[in-house]
Amino acid sequence: MNDCNVILDTLSQQIINAYQKGFPLCNRPFLELANRFNSTEETVIECFQNLQDQQVLSRLGPVFNHQQAGASTLAALAVPDEQLDEIAKKVNQFTQVNHNYAREHSYNLWFVATAANEDALTQCLAHIHRETGFKPLILPMEQAYHIDLGFNIEFSEHTRKR
């Protein structure tokens, strides 16, 4: 995945900061947004499509509570630097893995795995161990104190169109 800045118009910026949570649950939700931002339903839908095409929008929909929806854990591998890309690719192949990042530490590959239940999750982690040759550090969440994934984006000059 490339890390790059994209240029967004004002409507996109307004939508991003207003609707990371509380997207309307009604017959024509995009029309509701259009009315609020003095735009048209068609333009708003185009805007979402554009955000998706530019890979800014991962999806429009729910963020589930992993604990309640199934089993989930954070895990990490300590991989020699020269093997990192190769091992990351192996980890990515598991459909249960939904986030996978390189981080600066001796444990340098960090991923989140989710499955329908604890047994399936344990099996998945054992399989990752076998497939990569590295034993995962398994760090399930014990308590969530604060979760605010929909934080306000500060659009800087170079991400602004006008």
Q: Which of residues 75-104 bind another protein (CB under 8 A)?
A: 88-89, 91-104
Spatial contact of 114 and 103, defined as CB atoms under 8 Å apart: no
Q: Give the residue, chosen from 65, 86, 133, 161, that forms a contact with another protein under the rule CB under 8 A.
A: 65
Q: Give the residue, chosen from 37, 48, 83, 129, that forms a contact with another protein under the rule CB under 8 A.
A: 48
Size of the site for another protein (CB under 8 A): 96
Site for another protein contains 123 (CB under 8 A): yes
Site for another protein contains 116 (CB under 8 A): yes
Nearer to another protein, 15 or 39 (CB): 15
Closest CA to 61 of 19, 102, 33: 19
Site for another protein contains 62 (CB under 8 A): yes
What span, in angstroms and rounded, lies between the C-alpha atoms of 76 and 104?
A: 12
> With b meaning 16 or more CB within 10 Å and e meaning fewer, what string describes 66-75?
beeebbbbeb
Spatial contact of 152 and 13, defined as CB atoms under 8 Å apart: no
Site for another protein contains 27 (CB under 8 A): yes
